Structure 1
Amino acid sequence: MTSALDGVAPLPHLGLIRVEGDEAAKFLNSQLTQDFALLRPDEARLAAFCNAKGRMQASFVAVPIAPGDFLLVLSRDLLAQTLKRLSMFVLRTRARLTDATAAFELRGLAGGAVRAAAGGAPLSPWSHRVQEAGHLVGLYSADGIERALWLAPHGTPSPAGSAISTEDWLWGEVRSAVPTLTAPVFEAFVPQMLNYESVGGVNFKKGCYPGQEVVARSQFRGTLKRRMFPAHASQPLAAGMELFHDADPGQPCGLVVQAAAAPQGGWDALVSVQLAATEGGQIRAAAPDGPALELKPLPYPLLADI
């Protein structure tokens, strides 16, 4: 692990959708994979927006900034189309959706900056704290280093801490093994293919949402044949790259979900692959003779394994 993940990072690759109104929570509950009806003020949510076939069109960290007022943090390259798609389902619901990226400051905190911002108190994943200077949301750690999102109205000074590059923050995202969906993998996965049910991204007890039947069937009928794992390669990797196994090089066995240059050299990635391909042999990226991948253990247990 590198000390580069200790401080405050700009997050220009992320944007914000604001959902406001008396029925904002009801609307989100009807569209996303997590429960918003029972969301407490001290909680945030990881959630996905799926199509009717259960394929993810976007992923969010949802933050309740006031009663009936939510911010959805998502990849900026999916923001415009996601805002348009979600707005189509508002209909008569008392909720209003807007692009709020320019209205808020958004930073990534790691290591000592998290502890300083949280006043030294532990910050568990998806916990939410309202502070005088903004909102703090706990994330999954990266190799044991604490991480958090910080949001505040535009113009609010950033939290104290040394500067982290966006590139190092993106590497920490990969090492946390909780991916953010981006345009190259739009509609490529059901949530369990990215382990979302194991990191708080899916609620199987809530009511209907687009793709719910497919997501539930994948979980309870044993039909899931792909899972996500950390991986390392010596050459550059990128989201959307196909993966190939030497046992069947003519057919892709998976996709790169998210990737970043590793400070120690090479590239770290999150890859969603057929479970059969993890049982032996070599997986390569981009082509059957492309860079070899070394799969790594997940930093958390899968729900089915608990």
Structure 2
Amino acid sequence: MNDWLDRLGGRRKDDTRLVFETPDQAHLAMDATVMTPLVHLGILDVSGADAEGFLQGQTSAQVSLADGAFAPLTSFCTPKGRMLANAQLWRVAEGHYRLLMHRSLVQGLNDHLRKFAPFYKAELTVRDDLALIGLIGREAPAVAEARLDVRPPTAWHQANGGDLQLLAHPGPRPRLLACLPAERAEAIWQSLADQTTPVDNAVWRLHDIQAGLAWLNADQADAHLPQMLNWEALGGISFKKGCYTGQEVVARAHFRGQVKKRLVRGQLEGERLPAEGSAVEDANGKSLGEVLCAELDAYGQPEVLAVMSTKQAPEPLSVDGQQFKRLQLPYPLERLDPESLAARV
């Protein structure tokens, strides 16, 4: 169902990267409006009469907040509180919810949740018939409203236009994600092309890094507490809801201050992209943590998100032989309740 991707004029590097010949893309996204197919992301649907109750017992979100307007971040954990997947949740219709995550996690989460689904009137569906298109730029909201006929929402909210949902993500520039049937994607892409320039989906990933937002992939599952990805600071954990798988561990880590690793943002003094999992080392060569994701910025230097120990360490820090410079996160490291975030318009 992804035939539309082959007709965009880009080239597939692999299943999670589509590249275009557009020059100076990261810099272009700072000044112009760009669009990109979000091939690294995937969708899992949960539907049925008991869909809300089913999700409520499995996810860190207060599912009732996903009301068709608010589209919260969430996570699915093991009984030990380790994240199997982190996702964005939104409601398509009554009894129909949608989960956005890294595409490598979709099938695994589907298989995991199916173990509990027989106890509910709920159905899980891997949606390979949907397309995801990202818009970035100061004029992205105006372009979306003109071309998609949907008024853009605020960050972590959604707007709906028939079979299309438009979601707003934070970042250094306005960002909008359109989810729509794949059969409509090529026509929508061509319509947007009048006012935007196509870029690699690496540009969207770079803006995620600059927003301090890390999406786990299958190789990184079952390794981190949600707080290690700053998930409570992004409104991805409700501490006011009832029990869900892993809730006791997640709550204890929060209320007892037992989070010993945190997501940090940094820039490397070099030009080589480090591999995921590369160690962040102190001046003595001791590993402090590991890189989750990395992309080249507008100046050709790698920007990274890494999960690192909160303890002070002798500097300079380095990754793969390149000096690591800490960059400021765009949000405070403090609890942000999704209940208050939902009220923001």
TM over 0.5: yes
Shift of 1:38: 3.4
Q: Which residue of 2 aligns with 1:71?
A: 98
The RMSD of aligned alpha carbons is 2.1
Structure 2 residue matching 1:71: 3-state secondary structure: strand
Q: Which residue of 1 aligns with 2:180?
A: 152
Q: Give the 5 Å matches for 1:61-100.
A: 61-100=88-127
Tell me which amino acid in the other structure corresponds to 2:72.
R
1:242 aligns with 2:242: no
1:2 aligns with 2:27: yes
Shift of 1:155: 1.4
| Counterpart contact for 1:26–1:37, Cα < 8 Å | no
Q: Percent identity?
A: 29
Shift of 1:242: 2.2
1:137 aligns with 2:171: no
Distance in 1 (alpha carbons) for counterparts of 2:62 and 2:336: 23
Match of 2:332 among 281, 301, 306: 301
Distance in 2 (alpha carbons) for counterparts of 1:230 and 1:62: 25
Distance in 2 (alpha carbons) for counterparts of 1:11 and 1:121: 21
Match of 1:283 among 305, 314, 317: 317
Distance in 1 (alpha carbons) for counterparts of 2:260 and 2:160: 40
Shift of 1:133: 5.9
Tell me which amino acid in the other structure corresponds to 2:215.
T
Distance in 2 (alpha carbons) for counterparts of 1:293 and 1:158: 41
Distance in 1 (alpha carbons) for counterparts of 2:79 and 2:243: 11
1:46 aligns with 2:73: yes
Unaligned 5+ segments in structure 1 are none
Distance in 1 (alpha carbons) for counterparts of 2:246 and 2:119: 21
Q: Which residue of 1 aligns with 2:240?
A: 205
Q: Which residue of 1 aligns with 2:206?
A: 171
The TM-score, its normalising length taken from structure 1, stands at 0.90
Shift of 1:17: 0.7
The TM-score, its normalising length taken from structure 2, stands at 0.80
| Counterpart contact for 1:107–1:158, Cα < 8 Å | no
Distance in 1 (alpha carbons) for counterparts of 2:278 and 2:319: 7
Shift of 1:280: 5.2
Unaligned 5+ segments in structure 2 are 1-25, 338-345
Distance in 2 (alpha carbons) for counterparts of 1:281 and 1:177: 22
